[in-house]
């Protein structure tokens, strides 16, 4: 059932589950695009990124939830996927704090130790178009 509507496609899940980097494009207040390099993750039906509530990209998605996420194979950037969709849920609190530790373990094998200036928050992105 991986290819059921709303499910993240296998190829995208595979790249997003590994220690591969991505970008998220969000929309500024004038509608122009901004892009950030990010750690990435997914669940069965969403792409997941973890940011802070004080960051510009969080303000952007609160204003307009439309995003584009690209993930490339760390060993081969020609091997990349894109998910276009909307942030359908944001989750702060303990869940987001635990998730940034999970991501840090995935990418670096240890808990997250960078300073947290505001509050960690998970952006849950429902796909509308998947390119893989």
Is the Cβ of residue 48 or residue 70 nearer to a second copy in the bound state? Answer: 70
Strand 33-39 to 41-42 pairing: unpaired
Is the Cβ of residue 37 or residue 116 nearer to a second copy in the bound state? Answer: 37
Q: Can you tell me the distance from the alpha carbon of 2 to that of 17, in angstroms, rounded to the nearest whole number? A: 15
H or E element in which residue 12 lies: helix 10-17
- Map the footprint of a second copy across residues 24-83, applying CB under 8 A: 25-27, 31-37, 66-70, 72, 74, 77-78, 80, 82
**Smallest separation (angstroms) from a second copy to the CB of 86:** 9
Residue 11 engages a second copy in binding (rule: CB under 8 A): no
Among 55, 84, 97, 106, binds a second copy (CB under 8 A): 84
**Smallest separation (angstroms) from a second copy to the CB of 5:** 19
Full strand arrangement of the beta sheet holding 76-91: 33-39, 21-27, 66-73, 76-91, 120-131, 47-52, 41-42
Size of the site for a second copy (CB under 8 A): 24
User: Quick one: which of 27, 20, 69, 73 has its CA closest to 46?
Assistant: 69
- Say which residues have a Cβ less than 8 Å from residue 110's Cβ, sequence separation at least 6: 104
Residues that bind a second copy (CB under 8 A): 21, 23, 25-27, 31-37, 66-70, 72, 74, 77-78, 80, 82, 84
């Amino acid at each position: 059932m991986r290819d059921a509507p709303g499910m993240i496609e296998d190829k995208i899940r595979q790249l997003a589950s590994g220690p591969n980097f991505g970008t998220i494009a969000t929309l500024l207040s004038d509608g122009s695009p901004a892009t950030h390099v990010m750690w990435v993750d997914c669940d069965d039906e969403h792409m997941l990124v973890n940011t802070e509530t004080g960051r510009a990209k969080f303000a952007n998605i609160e204003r307009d939830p439309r995003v584009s996420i690209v993930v490339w194979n760390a060993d081969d950037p020609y091997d990349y996927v894109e998910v276009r969709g909307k942030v359908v849920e944001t989750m702060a609190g303990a869940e987001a704090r635990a998730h940034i530790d999970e991501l840090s373990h995935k990418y670096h094998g240890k808990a997250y130790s960078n300073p947290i200036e505001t509050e960690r928050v998970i952006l849950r992105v429902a796909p509308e178009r998947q390119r893989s």
